[in-house]
Structure 1
């Protein structure tokens, strides 16, 4: 059950409903396009602080999930530590699967 959310993240990436990269994620948070932000549990402290502070400021929910390798495999890219989900349907399903 825990890995089901990774399938939804992969679907969102293939549907072009997620953003990758710290700068793109921060821009999507500021423009209120992000519905949910997923952070790897082994992200660096500066990146974690920057993204979580932006999420708190703009009232965007975020979750700390598996490590960067697992999150990277879900989207098919290497060394991704954060993913912003842009679609409300995908975000709702991921939140329900994460609990």
Structure 2
């Protein structure tokens, strides 16, 4: 399942439905463009808390899992700590796959089931 989700991240990247980096993902969350945010499990505790708070405020599903190397490799870039999926279809597909994974340490749900 892990490889499937990472492959889906690569597809989303090639389709132009993925953003990465703190500032860009924050902007996507604030502008209601982010449908799912993924934070690397090896990100700093401060980064994890910052995105948990922001995603909770804006009602965006958040997943903490994978390593920065795995996330970066899946989208064809160097290590990435933060990814934002901007397409509802990709986000739903990945979210459903991530729920069953043991490698994921945190999944924050939306209040309204967006």
Partner of 2:46: 46
Higher relative contact order (CA 8 A, sep 6+): 1
What SS does the aligned partner of 2:83 have?
strand
Q: Distance in 2 between matches of 1:67 and 1:13?
A: 17
- Decide which moves more: 18-27 or 44-53: 44-53
Partner of 1:59: 59
Q: 1:44: how far off?
A: 1.1
Partner of 1:29: 29
Partner of 1:11: 11
Q: Which has the higher helix share?
A: 1
Give every structure 1 segment of 4 or more consecutive aligned residues whose post-TM-superposition deviation is greater than 3 Å. none
Partner of 2:95: 95
Structure 1 residues 60-90: Cα deviation after superposition (integer angstroms, max 9, x where no partner) = 0011121111111001111210100000000
Q: Distance in 2 between matches of 1:77 and 1:62?
A: 21
Q: Distance in 2 between matches of 1:76 and 1:2?
A: 17
CA RMSD of aligned residues (A): 0.8
The alignment of Structure 1 onto Structure 2 pairs a total of residues equal to 99
* TM-score, normalising length: structure 1: 0.95
The answer for unaligned runs of 5 or more in structure 1 is none
- Do structure 1's residue 79 and structure 2's residue 79 form an aligned pair? yes
